[in-house]
Structure 1
């Protein structure tokens, strides 16, 4: 073994490996996101929207695209805290055949890659895709447990 290490210049040192994502952990996260997303989504028709209120913030879930095996949704945050805080947006794709949902884009940035070298010019985390999907999981859970959906009841059934 020492001859092999010497041949490759590994003389007593450890080889540094890049970030390796745990696929079972990631798939489990995306499966849970799929089930939670189904609970908060509006009817699956392009342009349909659902508003969810949490505290002083309003979140809007909109159906962007519907295909045979996928649905693309966008989640936007609007808040009354400050004019200096920008809008937050996640683009999420639901894969109906695999029953998983994952973040594909955030805040109008490029598509999210599975992993990034670190350091990198855009300061992405090595596991940024996992972190964004973990955030989505927390956000969906908060919506389910604490969110309020404003009701627009037409008391007169349009007979005014």
Structure 2
């Protein structure tokens, strides 16, 4: 028998578990998020000695929202040029499904929309399970925000006007 590799198939149970957990973390970080319909910056999460995280609402419909999470405030050392710094800035586009209580990464780290599976090999050197890895990373990032971040006080007063 020859060496043949089994085709990768996404683990839907794992995807649903991670997406549900990510949704719960979003709701803990931004409890009023589901009621906001105005396209606008939602808040900033600040960290000690770390770049802040800006969260903006890009799209809103009855049961779904598309949110952008973007690291801001990197200080550029003299030796770093634009290309290196570009990879330090994390930007994720996340779809939040309020009816299903799930949140998934649509695109991340300077990508366009992510397919569920990347064919191997590919020119960008993406892993076959890149989307699953980014969804897990989103969960870790949200956990970091909840544990070490401080949500902008201004956000709380603006929420009433954004609905």
Instruction: Tell me the TM-score normalized by structure 1.
Output: 0.80
**3-state SS in 1 of match to 2:151:** coil
Cα distance, 1:134 vs structure 2: 0.5
Q: Which of 127, 132, 135 is equivalent to 1:133? A: 135
Counterpart in the other structure of 1:6: none
Structure 2: tracts of 5 or more residues without a match: 158-163
Q: How many residues align?
A: 143
Q: Which of 76, 85, 90 is equivalent to 1:82? A: 76
Counterpart in the other structure of 1:27: 16
Alignment of 1:1-160 (within 5 A): 12-13=1-2, 15-41=4-30, 43=33, 44=36, 45-55=38-48, 56-82=50-76, 84=80, 85-86=85-86, 87-152=89-154
For the 8 Å contact 1:18–1:117, the answer to whether it is kept is no
Cα distance, 1:81 vs structure 2: 3.6
Give the alignment's Cα RMSD to 1 decimal: 2.1
Q: Deviations over 1:115-137 (max 9, x none)?
A: 11221111111100001000100
**3-state SS in 2 of match to 1:133:** helix
CA gap of 1:80–1:13, structure 2 versus 1, over 3 A, is: closer
**3-state SS in 2 of match to 1:119:** coil
**3-state SS in 2 of match to 1:123:** coil
Counterpart in the other structure of 2:160: none
For the 8 Å contact 2:95–2:104, the answer to whether it is kept is yes
Cα distance, 1:111 vs structure 2: 0.4
Q: In structure 2, how many angstroms separate the alpha carbons of the residues matched to 1:32 and 1:13?
A: 41
Structure 1: tracts of 5 or more residues without a match: 1-11, 155-160
